[in-house]
Structure 1
Amino acid sequence: MSYPVPDPCFKKTCREREICVEKDNKGVCTPESKASCQAVGDPHYETFDGSLFSFQGTCSYVMVKTSGKDKTLTPFSIINKNQLASGARGSYMKSVIIKLPAHEIVITHGERNRVTAIKGLWSVWNLTNHISSFSALQIDNKTSPLPVNLDSGNITITKSGFTGTLKTDFGLEVTFDWGEFFKVTVPSSYYKNLVGMCGTYSNNRSDDFVTPAGVPVSDIVEWAASWSVPDNDRTCWHFPACTEQEKQRYRGPEYCGVLVDKTGPFANCNETVMLAQFPTDCVFYACLTHGSRETYCKALNSYVNSCMLAKTEVSAQWKQITKCRK
């Protein structure tokens, strides 16, 4: 007489976004999917839940870290240091520190094909206290060409073409090009257990923009500033120096306000292409360049291009109305 083999997953309790699979006659919880957050260019972000925003502050910020709610998950944090680009480009990611339980991995803009690995547990404050002066972190001569293999393969960093990839045994994956692109991918085991500028990974965009205290904030600059961490850069800022009077002027109809004017040249496009960060970016660059008409017109042209991609017409008179005739 044969008896049915008991299901090893019958009494196995997994996390919300995990499934139980049989392995060696045992029930093993595995993630059912993955999610990614990325920063591109100067920098434009997309959170784990798909929220899009731009932020060009030049300080150090928590891009993503574990919230600590689930103590059984492997903790990690990723901190990026931004720097003002030359000209009127805004900022870019100067460096990124990936903090793992036994290592800190430093990726620096322009230093292609190599990373710096620091063994040992550093506090977030000490780490970011030196973030703007990497000579302090490189004294140990830990800078290594790729590929890198740490902890018997539990952490690997490889290169393919222009792209580097860091992988861990707990599912964290980071893809980067030492320049304009940085992407963080996590297994769904981390669902609802992440915080930072990559959002909360809760499948709910409405709670992406909360402070470390869990308070929702609608202003991107104020929200991003709440995720800043100390560094040695005393000249860094979350928004370029601009008086309230100047901001009001740049938000007005003679400048960036034309983007949201319901009777203006872009009104037709507003119904198709979400304005999102365009007005904020416009004011940012106006402050950064002290009201440069050239930069202002480039910001408007960027929105026009988005309208064209969405196959939505903009008034043919927009250049005349905004005095961007060149």
Structure 2
Amino acid sequence: MARCIENNTIEIIPYECPPLQNITCTNGKKPVLVYDEYYCCQYYTCDCVCEGWGDPHYITFDGLYYSYQGNCTYVLMKEILPIHNLEIYIDNVFCDPTEDVSCPRSITVSYVSQVITLINHNLIGAAQLEALKNGESLNLPYSQQGVKIMNSGINLILEIPRLKVVVTFGITGFSVTLPFQYFGKNTQGHCGTCNNNQADDCMLPGGKLVESCAVMADYWPVEDLYQPNCPTPPALPTSAPEPPPTLAPCKPDSMCDLLKTSLFAECHPFVSPENFYRGCVFDSCHVSNPTVECTSLQTYAAACAQAGVCIYWRNHTTLCTGECPLGKVYKPCGPAEQPTCQDDPSGPTMNYTTEGCFCPDGMKLFNQESGICVEKCGCLDPEGIPREFNERFEYKCQDCICEESTKTVTCKPKVCPPPSATTDCSAPGFVLVNQTSPSDPCCSTYVCQCQPNTCPVTNMNCPIGYKPVVSVPDGKCCAEHTCEPKRVCVHRETEYQPGSSVPVIACQDCTCANQIDPKSGLLKIICVFQQCKEHCELGYGYVESDSDECCGKCVQKHCVVNINGTKHLLTVKTWSPSENKCEHYTCVKNGETLTASRSQTVCPPFQESNCQPETIQTAANGCCKICVEKEKGCKLMSMTTHITFNGCQSSQEVDMPYCEGSCNTYTMYSEAAAAMEHSCSCCKEINFSNRTVDLVCLNGDTVPYTYMYVEQCGCTKTDCTTARHHVRRKRSFTLL
């Protein structure tokens, strides 16, 4: 050790370094060996690592764990004495729809004159990470003014090489690594004091200590563009007991237990999983999104990676899988600054391990800007495709080469052979044109090109039954017209569709068949002799035609009566069905038409009590019952019936009184005459009047008819006639 005395005299004093003493880092990290201020002796110190994840959970520089749900922008780390002009802020926002739990949205690093923000625009789902400098988006990787920023695909990594400061930020949270050599005992904020002593981590602005870091965190708000209205608590905090920690996950399918299984067992001796397990259990119970549990596992795995233990853990979960873009693979541990073809072996590199998307084994990035993985280093062509040294290729009609000497691509216009003009284009419609060669799009050639607008005009009319067809044969340009037969029959310049009747020959049925005539190509007309329908309906007879008609016709011969669905032929003038002799059907001829007329016999009132025993019988007409009555005096009887005359009939039954009964008629011996004396009297009308009713005829005419209406009956003398066989006749009435 040298000491300046006076008069430019330097005294050399032996300096004996104290013996190295092993220390224990309260944050669980491995002690590091550093030089003292004279760069002479070495001693052990504990570098400071502050971590935050989930909703969120903090581990201070000295390893103290706490959770804080503030919804504001806070001082994460700030120098007590501004030696290096470094400040780091964290912006927390509420991120769960059901509970007031917050998540880190961005982290801001203020270093000298630069203000850089690492932000995640999507807190629920796939991360959308971006780096901003003074509010402007940065193209990564970034390296200016002593600050480097890289993107691993999962995390953004910011490094200040001169101070050995590393800040990471991603969907899982953040980490801040500060060397004790530059920042020991000179930090304050949410991350604590960086002095290997947890007792003073919960320090308020001004140096006052409180028991709870969650209470302390309220007192470090800062004004921020995103959250300008973050109030400071008005009074000093009071000591309040923290709620007891949750000891087990609240969800049965929680991933938290993986932290204590054999999956992470290799890391347990180096980094304790307890704080990360506590944070995971808290998230399991208070955050509805189950993927937030991934943040605890990822943060612990990142801490293990910094301790030198790399753990492949994502493939043991279903919600925390790592996805990478095409051409890259996921690795849990890899260099934050990935190797490239343009690396300077003598230049500084970021000595930090992170998980992310890396080039496959045996490949490296062409450069940091392209993000393209290559097996061999060379050049990038204008489209960003890697090319090997001395590789020749074509680009936009230029012959290019990747020159090893300059490591750049040089291009020259492609030289094409002169086009040949010997092609014959004499066929109609073809024109000789100069166009791009089909074998080489960079060169031109003469070809015969079809231009239909140069074809001659042709018109074509087709005969009946044919349609014009326009087609361009193979190898030709102009259309050719032909007449194609339709699927129709043709007779006397008229088209007929398949299945339709064609009037060709009398007394023959001709049809357009679905058969093609091989000669004309049209459909055939097939004719057969007409089959006359000689079987006629009931009541009709077939009569041969005496004219030029092909067939006879069915002529009505008899009337037909339909009774209860059964047809009966009237072969006699009047007919009654066997089951109802009171009903009568008469066949009436009106011109050429025979019509069946129906009438009904109305029997007089009949009471068996007025009959003499064993005298009841059916009248000769088979309709009415008759008997010898006990009392058969002449009297007026009532009756209603239809009136029929010359084929005309009343539309309704009319009231038709009549006289019936016995009068004093006898034959007895007369002594005076000495012979049989006959006395006859008839039961007939005494008083009557004339009434008129309308009859409806078969042709629809209405005809008035007048009949006698009996008003009183009585017995009147009449001549006795010779006795004859008594036949009961159908009751009749007189029309006037």
**Which TM-score applies when normalising by structure 1?**
0.56
Q: What SS is found at the alignment partner of 2:217?
A: helix
Which residue matches 1:244?
A: none
Q: 1:51 to 1:8 in 2, by over 3 A?
A: farther
Distance 1:238 1:171 in 2: 33
Which residue matches 2:154?
A: 162
Aligned counterpart for 1:98 among listed residues 109, 114, 117? 109
Aligned counterpart for 1:87 among listed residues 88, 97, 114? 97
Q: What SS is found at the alignment partner of 1:222?
A: helix
Aligned counterpart for 1:217 among listed residues 210, 216, 232? 210
Q: 1:93 to 1:27 in 2, by over 3 A?
A: same
TM-superposed deviation, 1:34 = 2.5
Q: 1:51 to 1:238 in 2, by over 3 A?
A: farther
Which amino acid is the alignment partner of residue 222 of structure 1? V
Distance 2:245 2:138 in 1: 51
8 A contact 2:155–2:169 mirrored in 1: yes
Which amino acid is the alignment partner of residue 86 of structure 1? D
TM-superposed deviation, 1:65 = 1.1
Aligned counterpart for 1:60 among listed residues 63, 73, 95? 73
TM-superposed deviation, 1:230 = 3.0
Distance 1:9 1:50 in 2: 39
Q: 1:181 to 1:221 in 2, by over 3 A?
A: closer
Structure 1 residues 141-290: aligned runs within 5 Å: 142-151=136-145, 154-168=146-160, 169-177=162-170, 179-189=171-181, 190-231=183-224, 233=227
Q: What SS is found at the alignment partner of 1:228?
A: coil
Q: What SS is found at the alignment partner of 2:205?
A: coil
TM-superposed deviation, 1:97 = 1.0
Q: What SS is found at the alignment partner of 2:163?
A: coil
Q: What SS is found at the alignment partner of 2:138?
A: strand
TM-superposed deviation, 1:221 = 3.9
Q: 1:143 to 1:199 in 2, by over 3 A?
A: same
8 A contact 2:46–2:196 mirrored in 1: no
Which residue matches 1:288?
A: none
Aligned counterpart for 2:64 among listed residues 13, 30, 51? 51
Q: 1:174 to 1:274 in 2, by over 3 A?
A: closer
8 A contact 1:36–1:184 mirrored in 2: yes
Bigger CA radius of gyration = 2
Which residue matches 2:35?
A: 19
Q: 1:32 to 1:85 in 2, by over 3 A?
A: same
8 A contact 2:66–2:214 mirrored in 1: no
Which amino acid is the alignment partner of residue 148 of structure 2? T
TM-superposed deviation, 1:295 = 5.4
Which amino acid is the alignment partner of residue 215 of structure 1? K
Which residue matches 1:39?
A: 52
TM-superposed deviation, 1:116 = 0.8
Question: Deviations along 1:158-180, whole A, 9 cap, x unmatched?
Answer: 12241221111211111122x22
Which residue matches 2:656?
A: none
Q: 1:7 to 1:78 in 2, by over 3 A?
A: farther
8 A contact 2:119–2:129 mirrored in 1: no
Distance 2:155 2:245 in 1: 40
Which amino acid is the alignment partner of residue 174 of structure 1? V
Distance 1:192 1:83 in 2: 30
Q: 1:97 to 1:7 in 2, by over 3 A?
A: farther
TM-superposed deviation, 1:96 = 1.5
Distance 2:288 2:158 in 1: 40
Distance 2:206 2:65 in 1: 22
Q: 1:31 to 1:181 in 2, by over 3 A?
A: farther
Q: 1:145 to 1:114 in 2, by over 3 A?
A: farther
Distance 1:55 1:74 in 2: 28
Which residue matches 1:76?
A: 86
Distance 1:180 1:92 in 2: 9
Distance 1:220 1:274 in 2: 18
TM-superposed deviation, 1:8 = 11
Which amino acid is the alignment partner of residue 217 of structure 2? A
Which amino acid is the alignment partner of residue 156 of structure 2? G
Q: How many residues align?
A: 224
Which residue matches 2:130?
A: 114
TM-superposed deviation, 1:80 = 1.1
Distance 2:13 2:174 in 1: 40
Which amino acid is the alignment partner of residue 61 of structure 2? F
Which amino acid is the alignment partner of residue 185 of structure 1? T
8 A contact 2:193–2:200 mirrored in 1: yes
Percent identity between the aligned chains? 24
Pick 1 or 2: higher relative contact order, CA cutoff 8 A, min separation 6: 1
Distance 2:133 2:41 in 1: 32
Which amino acid is the alignment partner of residue 93 of structure 2? Q
**Which TM-score applies when normalising by structure 2?**
0.26
Question: Deviations along 1:235-270, whole A, 9 cap, x unmatched?
Answer: 76899xxxxxxx99xx9xxxx77979xxxxxxxxxx
Which residue matches 2:266?
A: none
Distance 1:21 1:9 in 2: 17
Q: 1:86 to 1:159 in 2, by over 3 A?
A: same
Distance 1:112 1:295 in 2: 24
Which amino acid is the alignment partner of residue 80 of structure 1? I
